[in-house]
Amino acid sequence: MNRLLAAAVLAGANVAAAAQAPVPSREAMAERLAACTACHGKEGRATSAGYFPRIAGKPAGYLYNQLLNFRDGRRQNAAMAYLLEHLSDDYLREIAAHFASLDPPYPPPQTRDAAPAVLARGATLVREGDAARSLPACIACHGERMTGMLPAVPGLLGLPRDYLNAQLGAWRSGLRHARPPDCMASIARRLAGDDISALSQWLSSQPMPADTAPQSATAAKPPLDCGGVAP
């Protein structure tokens, strides 16, 4: 049994029991969710292991949707599936709200040695997209600061490069899914391997803005319909 699954097994009974309890305090939730921070880092701020994303401060709607996706099989991870298998929708909302309420400091940017041409390509995709391939700009959904958009679009800054590569690759290959219409799968299939590398290097090389919070929803219509956006 690997370390992640072992942690899940040890914590599973406590988490399942907690799902039936009254809404707890932040301190009580932190204690109950120790299995989450074993991989996602103290307060959900991520660790040096490149495949575990920061979950602190992400929009609650986004975190809730991902918990549903792991529980219901649209995303694949044995430890996450074990922890969430018997948890109610209401308790998943409590977990999401807890981590969304946290705002620990961000580490310095991870990527420091990317080639200027690669960074320029990544910046263009983020800021402008590629109309010739029907690729919208990332900022159209993830916000001008790339810190996410309420109620359910995540920020992409402050994530490890390996995690970004893995998730974009999973969308592209069909290993990761969201509720239909699956807009990210559609976008990722239009990305070349070099595009994914450029995006992950640019995103992981950027310092966080002064305001790291997800921005408020705008009145502008998103470039694609996304089933995974509704919380």
Domain locations along the chain? 3-100, 116-205
Mind listing the pLDDT tens digit for each residue in 186-231?
A: 999 999 999 999 999 999 999 999 999 999 998 889 999 999 886 6
Q: Please say whether the beta carbons of 152 and 230 come within 8 A.
A: yes
* Domain 3-100 and domain 116-205 have a common topology: yes
Residue 11, pLDDT > 80, answer no
Query: pLDDT for 133-144, tens place per residue?
Result: 999 999 999 999
Domain 3-100 belongs in CATH node 1.10.760.10: yes
Q: Which CATH superfamily is domain 116-205 in?
A: Cytochrome c-like domain (1.10.760.10)
Q: Token digits for 98?
A: 């807890």
Buried b (16+ CB within 10 A) or exposed e, 173-195: eeebbbeeebbbbebbeebeeeb
pTM for this model (two decimals): 0.88
